[in-house]
Chains A and B, each alone.
Chain A
């Protein structure tokens, strides 16, 4: 049973517009949520995170929104740029008192920004 789901395998957006990537989760024990970006032939790179005590976190063009009651988070990229074309992974982790955290990943959404 998949605990983190990204239901859109792909998304195409015009350059300059807003990209919205969605993620749903089922485990109410998740306390931290992260977005990673992956280019071909590279490992995932950390983009932005949010803890469950917040509902929004912003970093430049990237904003993550968390709706705990709906168990839903989204990543907004505005304005979208061609370099944003990549696969985006949503990940979640329960709070860990021991430190090393177990991330559970979604399947990924391939974002294509069209010029």
Chain B
């Protein structure tokens, strides 16, 4: 596997279910991100992890719970979601440097539908 992988690619869940999204990066990066893309809206940053530590929570509801056990893996745990949470969830990674632009590399995304 190369680059950034995400599983599952598609997920349908009820509002009472608990599920998890998984992201894995094979690039040796140390920063990982979760984004949400709703229909006709820009990508919205949800969470940032830098060296496994969460450095950003962009006012995300607590029904979304991230977990970063190591620099290569990132999870998004979902519980009691609402239909309006249906969206494309994208994971990204980048190499943390103190100076300069660190382009982010994205996975293919998980298309989530909440019924």
Contact = CB atoms under 8 A, between A and B. Distances in A.
Contacts, number: 71
A4 interface: yes
Interface string B23-43: 000000001010000001111
Contact of A44 (B31, B40, B106): B106
A27 B107 CA distance: 28
Contact of B106 (A41, A45, A106): A45
A100 B98 contact: no
Contacts of B48: 100, 102
Interface in B63-105: 90, 92, 94, 96-98, 101-105
A105 interface: yes
Contacts of A62: none
B104 A46 contact: yes
Contact of A98 (B50, B92, B108): B50
Contacts of A85: none
Interface residues of A, number: 28
A63 interface: no
A51 B101 contact: yes
A101 interface: yes
Given A43-B4, A107-B40, A99 B50 contact: yes
Contacts of B94: 100-101
Interface of B: 4, 6, 31, 33, 40-45, 48-50, 55-56, 90, 92, 94, 96-98, 101-109
Q: 6 closest Cβ contacts across the A-B interface?
A: A43-B106, A99-B96, A100-B31, A100-B50, A105-B43, A105-B42
